[in-house]
Structure 1
Amino acid sequence: MIIEPKYKGGILLTAHPEGCKKLVEKQIKYVKNNKSYNGAKKALIIGASSGYGLATRISLAFGGSKTDTIGISYENGPRGKRTGTAGWYNNIFFKEAAEKEGLKAKNFVGDAFSLEMKDEVIKYIKEEFGKVDLVIYSLASGRRKDPIDGETYISALKSTTGDIVGPTVDLKNDTLIQQTMENATEEDIKATVKVMGGEDWELWIKALLEADVLEKGARTFAYTYIGPKITYGIYKDGTIGAAKRHLEKTAKELNKILKEKLSGEAAVSSNKALVTKASAYIPIFPVYATLLFKVMKEKGTHEGCIEQTHRLFLDMIYGDNPIIDKEGRYRPDNLEMEEDVQDKVNELWKQINENNFKEISDYAGFKKDFLQLGGFEVEGIDYSKDIDLETYAKLIP
């Protein structure tokens, strides 16, 4: 089967296994060639198959303290003419690389929101893994079945201050278009907080505590995004912002609990704007990202997921140079938020239109990053080669 990129809006529908493998190897090579740190011994990453979650797992295993890891994700393997998801292959290739170096790398594929998954993971920790000293919460999902009330909630990417009209990119047709972000209802806000807020993170930490599978001094972090004023309409003042405020509130509550019980820590890390499964789908945001990439690449400060994540652990979480704001958030987005960077982005934002957006932004870089989410546009891969999906279907994540 010849596998080509197919996508709808900001969602890739296909994945190329050889491209995914190459990208996992590239991230591993980066951290191995960088400085290392003395970090976690055993880590649980909830949302581990792509983006910041995958980068976290790679940094810990190959650039930290040779961390044993458990990764949880909801992915699909190849079936018939369906290629399966990129995260399915990322899980497989990470596990292969980690086990070659004598590390434990257990993958759980299923619904991380469910009580059954929590029970299954805790059972494994008790029987085969050993107590965990780091928990990362990095789930990206548009829906969640609440394990308590049994209701399924679907998040809504909407405004809370009235309809917002702004530019976004049509990746399929390589054009700049105007998009309307509608105003949210109270139900929209509630559902988004249910899916993207801190409720499930809290359920995980309390379940782990009750089962006594967290080490003394255990730490937990969730990833978030704050962004500049340009993005406030879709983030800070949107349904996402309501969810992220709930996430931050949860962090403070968990921090009190972990500090009291284990002398541990809970916090959020505000990460840089990048192309991830979650961010590529958000209206209007892609235009800001294309301009940001342009400015930061010219300045020499642009980072991808692995560069940013490794710096977060090397310098901040396990290093001597943490950047923590007054709200207690770790801020590896500091390079994005530098005044000169934002001034230049604001200047370009005023100029961008459907005729010049490819020239004054890094649209080409943004789209390449988007396609690489599925293992496409990777150097050294022959995309005209026939891929035997049945061979990959036999591999177990």
Structure 2
Amino acid sequence: MPFQLSDEQQLIQRAARDFACGELANNAVALDQGVGQDIFFKNLKALAELGFMGLNIDPELGGSGAGSIAFSLAITELAKACASTAVTVSVTNMVAEVIQSVASAEQKAFYLPKICSGEYPAAGFCLTEPGAGSDPSAMRTSAAWNGSEWVLNGAKAYITSGEFAGVFVVWAVTDKNAPRGKGISCFLVERQTPGLVVGPAEDKMGQKGSATNPVYFDDCRIPASALMGELNRGYQVALGELAGGRIGIGSLALGVGMAAMEYARDYAREREQFGQPIANFQAIQWMLADGFTELEAARLLLMQAAYLKEANLDFASQASMAKLFATEAANRACYSGQQILGGHGYNREYPLERFARDVRITSIYEGTSEIQRMIIARKLLA
């Protein structure tokens, strides 16, 4: 792959950086403290208007058509300022790509312009359940056909943007007698559909500005036209789209890790102990050198995975490698940054404390690090 970004990719990266520095950074602390939601929604709308809610979506359907590399670059820049906003953008893009990939022409024409334009503040990806996390084939949410419509019953867990998503892609068992993972279908369900109930937001350790909710379906009736893709073939769709989502979460982790390392570097230049800046001490220099080197390696793995995806080549293993390495490296970077700040790193007056909380989930959601290792090993041993 070429290492030089195209003019368009550089433009998108710069636009994301400018918006992050000018609009997101000032509101990140307020969001973390549970206030500033009006500004959060205003920023989501502005990001949609800039084209960031459909970066890999066909322009004829309202998207930017910029590709997977541009998507990765944008998420990294947004996450350096506000991980809560970045995860909302990442998941919304993932939902849009699911719809573009498998939906009917009518479904695409109806939903994608609403997502890309910001008419829907966000979109939800309803796969995880209380008893089906790393193993989504164990899901129990069901969709029964009653002769004229589908009736959804069940519960989904940890749904990003649940309380303000305009539409959800929902996976449900449609053939209870099929082998495990074979009788699952996916549906498009609008937020205001009777029987769809969004529970209270989870009280999380980090990324507090991004609502994460349980979503319940209680005799939720949806028309035949809500089925997306082939009946009983939805599990394969979920696995394919999760690979793309891992590029987004890896890119988000990279952004948070870079923010931590850059802040720690600047702090080390100014902080004096023993009569000189602590940046002069080898212990600090090596923490910075290791952190920046690992994050650069993460960036290259992410670019490789995004390049393969954009070229319509097999990228699942590379996406898992990138997500695994980027999230683990970003966690180490945030803790190294805290260590460089010493006691200040543990104080909420400084951003390292928030970075460390925000980055922790990245090695858990969109597939834990352990699941990524399983995927990588399976590919190696095939």
Q: Is TM-score (shorter-chain normalized) higher than 0.5? A: no
Per residue, is there more helix in 1 or in 2?
2
TM-score under structure 1 normalisation? Answer: 0.32
- Structure having greater relative contact order (Cα 8 Å, sep ≥ 6): 1
TM-score under structure 2 normalisation? Answer: 0.33
